[in-house]
Amino acid sequence: MLDPYEYLDVNNLTIQNTNFTDHDVFDYYKILGFQIIQDGLNYSTVTHHTNMDALEYVPERDMMINATVIAALVYQIGELNSRLPRED
């Protein structure tokens, strides 16, 4: 699914639980949820739950790429002929 975006260096998508994410509850109830693994740029040193955890610290290009890729993934999933596999 991410092959068309490889040139944007978007290549980490998992259905596995990576802990402490917003989709933990989905994972617990075996409901399909995605965790797109983010770049660690300034995550622990500057922006993680501090007063600097604000929009102006997100690189503009990253926001544009992320919004485009998420929208495309939602569209692709919606257009599939079958459901995505669920976890056991």
- Residue 31 near residue 17, CB atoms below 8 Å: no
Percent of the chain with pLDDT over 70: 66
Mean pLDDT of 78-82: 92
What are the E-state strand segments in 2-88? 13-14, 35-36
Task: Reply yes or no on whether the pLDDT at 25 is more than 70.
Answer: yes
Say what the pTM is: 0.66
Task: Please state whether 40 falls in left (phi above 0), alpha (psi between -120 and 50) or beta.
Answer: alpha
**What's the mean pLDDT when you consider all of the chain?**
76
The amino acid that residue 79 corresponds to is: E
> Which residues, listed in sequence order, are joined to residue 14 by a DSSP beta bridge?
35
Instruction: With cut-offs at 50, 70 and 90, classify the pLDDT of residue 54.
Output: low
